[in-house]
Amino acid sequence: DSGVTQTPKHLITATGQRVTLRCSPRSGDLSVYWYQQSLDQGLQFLIQYYNGEERAKGNILERFSAQQFPDLHSELNLSSLELGDSALYFCASSVSGGLAKNIQYFGAGTRLSVL
Amino acid sequence: DAKTTQPTSMDCAEGRAANLPCNHSTISGNEYVYWYRQIHSQGPQYIIHGLKNNETNEMASLIITEDRKSSTLILPHATLRDTAVYYCIGPLLPQGGSEKLVFGKGTKLTVNP
């Protein structure tokens, strides 16, 4: 058990809908990262938050947004869903931001199926 | 982003050592190398990291060449549960403070009975 909790485990929805994925980081971790894993793209970094502030953006679509709340949990919002958004979404957390040595611990993921 | 090169797949007999190589020729002096693995769609799992010295923990050993251009992850006594995709991840580039992990395709290790 990594200590990172993601809910829900599975999500099935229709095109055009909006969903919210939730992540609770390990106790004491200030950074939260979101990654997307689809069959053809592998694991791709989406976005990072550090202590409530956006730290970096990766290959995140404009239809997607995220936030980190004062209690440090994070939510990834996916809207106007398309078939191609079907993927595994992982959240990871780490203690620090800004250092070259930084171990990230991953949750079990949310499997999103867009029908 | 720095690139790493790994073989696409490897096989290993159960109980034998699994040696997974990685080339990271663009690494610079103060940058770490990390190894993660992913067991069949589970969340990636941290294994070990190193800078210049060899490292060992309860999961594996990491051997880094003196020029730091390559490393080898060693699972000393592989079990069937070690079947997974192993990712060697080059330095975390603190561009703007982000330590994002850049995953390549990794090495698919199959441990055979």
B97/A109 touch (CB, cutoff 8 Å), yes or no: no
Q: What is the 3-state secondary structure (H, E, C) of A41-78?
A: CEEEEEEEEECCEEEEECCCCCCEEEEECCCCCEEEEE
- Of the pLDDT bands very low, low, confident and very high (cuts 50, 70, 90), residue A98 is low
Q: What is the structure's pLDDT at A41?
A: 77
Question: What distances in angstroms separate CA B58 from CA A47, B1, B66, B75, one per listed residue?
Answer: 31, 30, 23, 10
The rounded percent of chain B whose pLDDT value lies above 70 is 90
For the cut 70, the answer to whether the pLDDT of residue B84 exceeds it is yes
Min Cα separation A12/chain B (Å): 17
What CA dihedral angle connects B82, A111, A54 and A1, to 10 degrees?
A: -40
The rounded percent of chain B whose pLDDT value lies above 90 is 63
Min Cα separation A105/chain B (Å): 7
For the cut 70, the answer to whether the pLDDT of residue B8 exceeds it is yes
Higher pLDDT among residues A36 and A98, named by residue: A36
Min Cα separation A45/chain B (Å): 7
B102/A104 touch (CB, cutoff 8 Å), yes or no: no
Q: Number of A:B CB contacts under 8 A?
A: 77
| Angle A101-B83-A12 from CA coordinates, rounded to 5° | 85
Helices then strands, counting H and E runs in chain A, come out as 0, 11
DSSP label at A26?
P
